[in-house]
Amino acid sequence: MDKFMLDQAEGLRRLLTGSRSRVVAMCSGAAAGNGAGGIGKTSAVVNIAAALAALGKDVLVIDERQNALSASRLFGVPDNGTLATLMSGKRFLEDSVTNTPFGFALIAAPRDERISHVPAQWRVLLDGPADIVLIDTQLDRNGELSTLAAQAHEFVVITRVAPAAITEAYVCIKRLHYAHAIPRFRVIVNHVKNAADASVAFNNLATVASRYLAVQLMQAGRVAEDHRVSRAQELSRCAVEAFPATPAARDYRQIAAEMLHWPMVQSPQTVPVEMPKLGEHSINPGAARRMETPVTQLAMSSSASM
């Protein structure tokens, strides 16, 4: 879509909502310490961020993860102290972020620097100059969001076409719904070999979530299985920049373009407290019940579709 039209649409959204940034929390079913992984959440975050930046948007990625495969480690961003100094008012936002070579800014948000802040304080970070803030979430041991990620307007769950992954996605959605009263999630199906299988997996997940949780699921897109995504990561680069003609890069760009047109919704955790805004410059360059039946249905239906 023409960049001028995208800028007009984003400008109108900001005028009507009074919001500075669209905040999107990117989630998967792996809770802290459970050893699960392989969904490709971080790859999705950085590639969508790079695709949004290529569309001319100011993008901030907040990295909550703390492991060797996190975005901060990938781009050599310090993961200690920076967020704390920002939240204490000792630094401005534009002085706290790291501008990556791929057009988006990045800041690490390790757990020990997040847990001491209440939701209203995060507006200093989330109401900054970025058009879009993507949070690479780290769920806690109960499968819940941090007080930072809970401030998002949109919650995207990333999964793949495999029984275990679909089951994890359902459990993730269930826990987040009960913990944070989130009524709607968007879903990205990653590592897709066959588009029809991806549609079946999403439809199964959406049907069960609607029936047992009264939660609405919406398709946010799918990403083709492509070994060049991991190759780009090994090179400390993004697939959309390093291998732009590949199927996965195409899919990331499609998701990014459509994200700009998602209707703006209010965060379920929004606190109406006025906070001072730092850094006005551009940053461019256990209430849940066990429900074994739906989980079993998901695993069986996903197996049948593969």
The pLDDT score that the predictor gives to residue 6 is 45
201 or 15, greater pLDDT: 201
Q: Residues 297-306: pLDDT tens digits?
A: 565 455 555 5
The pLDDT score that the predictor gives to residue 270 is 53
Q: What is the mean pLDDT of the chain?
A: 82
The single-letter DSSP state of residue 302 is: H
Helix, coil or strand: residue 288:
coil
27-60 exposure pattern, b = at least 16 Cβ within 10 A, e = fewer: bbbbbeeeeeeebbbbbbbbbbbbbbbbbebbbb
- Arithmetic mean of pLDDT, 49-71: 93
The pLDDT score that the predictor gives to residue 87 is 87
The pLDDT score that the predictor gives to residue 15 is 45
Rounded alpha-carbon distances, angstroms, from residue 203 to 8, 133, 166, 217, 244? 33, 28, 11, 9, 29
pLDDT of 11 above 90: no
Rounded alpha-carbon distances, angstroms, from residue 252 to 19, 42, 44, 160, 187? 25, 13, 7, 15, 13
205-222 exposure pattern, b = at least 16 Cβ within 10 A, e = fewer: bbebbeebbebebeebbb
Q: Residues 221-272: pLDDT tens digits?
A: 999 999 999 999 999 999 999 999 999 999 999 999 999 999 887 766 654 4
Q: What CATH topology corresponds to 20-265+285-305?
A: Rossmann fold (3.40.50)
Q: Which of 158, 218, 145, 210 is nearest to 186 (CA)?
A: 218
| pLDDT classification of 149: cutoffs 50, 70, 90 | very high
pLDDT of 34 above 80: no
pLDDT of 174 above 80: yes
Give pTM, 2 decimals: 0.83
The pLDDT score that the predictor gives to residue 201 is 93
- Arithmetic mean of pLDDT, 217-221: 97
